[in-house]
Amino acid sequence: MAGADRTGNWELPDEYRLLRETVRRFMASEVKPAEDRVAHDANALLPEDHERLRRRARELGLWCVQSPAEHGGAGLNLLGQCVVAEEAAQCRMGLYFPAAGALGQDPPKVAFRGTPAQIRKYGAAAIASGATTCVSISEASGGSDPARAITTRAERRGDCYVVNGAKMWTSYIDQAEWGILYARTGAAGDRGGITAFFFDPRRRGISLTRIPLMRSHQPFEVRFDNYEIPVEDRLGDEGQGFAIAEEWLVHARVPYAAASIGVAQASLALAIDWAKQRKTFGALLADRQAIQWMLVDSEIELRAARLLVWQAAWKGDRGEDIKIDASIAKVYATEAAGRVVDRCMQILGGMGMTHALPLERWYRELRIRRVGEGPSEVQRMVIARDMLGGEARR
């Protein structure tokens, strides 16, 4: 992260700049034209476009960017993932990272913490086939504190675990070939009493109820009724589930924040073009100070958000603890992105509210991102505890 471009932005090393340009070209020349062939609120491309773009992503080295290279993924580090996330988000389906499925859905990161046999059966196989997967962790009693709030129980009975309980907000489970389930095997409220499992959502003992949301993509409530999981599908030892999940939960917030920046950056570009062309009362919007300041405030916030994200990613790639950095980046980027898109819609007036542009869709989806991956209030609580519990910062 050294050097600056002509606008004064701190720039990325050459390999990341090349990666960014590769994704940018792929989005502009191949993904966006495919999006134009589906409805405004669609969350999937036409099957023929989907398969063609997935093949192309493999050719470009953009397939399953978060997954290990030794198992068939692109193997990008956290900073590389953020570069891809920001660029891939700048399309109508942008917040369905990565690129509306064109870059493949990475299997849950924790799958690669399993045994060699589990990695082959689940992680590597999903990368090879492009299978959809899911993670089921949150519950109605407290999605923001899953370790203590989990009440779904898995009881060992011979060579299997029997699961009973309910999960909330599980995405993609209706399409998934397998997923990761977190269930309680120990005392209630104990972080050490959570165990992780590989599970098959298509087997008997699971029922799904779709949860309508303000966006087109909708998650599910999942109920388990004497659902059986073989002991060999346990991920790690009993009681290690939350420890296994914690790194994933923290690191996932960083590319999540980067994608939010991407849609806001694309929104700002639309607003700038509109302001330079649109006249009201005999003058261009771009000549009005009120509009100029809205654009400037948006640019300032996006630059600040991007640097926070890059710093968190850079520290994570150095092996540092980024729990606080990831929380800061997630809070600032998701909130700033929402403000930017809101300003851009205001600048475009009625046109910004229409389906002719993706702004109103992005506005709805960004509102959800202030809750997803840990609400802003919870992230602020984590940051405050660190500030007040540690040494004074200088």
Closest CA to 266 of 105, 102, 104, 99: 99
- Please, what's the b/e burial string for 357-371 (b: 16 or more CB within 10 A of its CB; e: otherwise)? bbbbbbbbbbeebbe
Dist CA 63 CA 80 (whole Å): 13
Q: What confidence category does residue 390 fall into, taking pLDDT thresholds of 50, 70 and 90?
A: low
Average pLDDT, the chain: 92
Residue 68, both tokens: 């290990």
Supply the pLDDT for residue 149. 83
Residue-wise pLDDT tens digits, 228-278: 999 999 999 999 999 998 888 999 999 999 999 999 999 999 999 999 999
Residue-wise pLDDT tens digits, 19-44: 999 999 999 999 999 999 999 998 88
Residues of the chain above pLDDT 70, percent: 93
Helix axes 323-348, 241-277, angle to 10 degrees: 30
Q: Is 393 helix (H, G, I), strand (E, B) or coil?
A: coil
Same fold, 14-129 and 133-235: no
Q: How far apart are the first and last CA of the chain?
A: 23
Phi and psi of 374, rounded to 5°?
A: 100, 115
Dist CA 24 CA 89 (whole Å): 10
Q: Cα dist. 357→3, 79, 92, 317 in Å?
A: 35, 30, 8, 36
Supply the pLDDT for residue 99. 56
Q: Is 294 helix (H, G, I), strand (E, B) or coil?
A: helix
Residue 4 has pLDDT above 60, yes or no: no
Asked whether 259 and 89 are in contact (CB, 8 A), the reply is yes
Q: Domain 14-129 classified CATH 1.10.540.10?
A: yes
Dist CA 315 CA 321 (whole Å): 8
Class of domain 133-235: mainly beta
pLDDT mean over 286-301: 98
Residue-wise pLDDT tens digits, 221-232: 999 999 999 999
Residue-wise pLDDT tens digits, 154-181: 999 999 999 999 999 999 999 999 999 9
Dist CA 122 CA 124 (whole Å): 6
Q: Which fold has domain 243-389?
A: Butyryl-CoA Dehydrogenase, subunit A; domain 3 (1.20.140)
Domain ranges of the chain: 14-129, 133-235, 243-389
Longest dimension (CA), the chain: 80
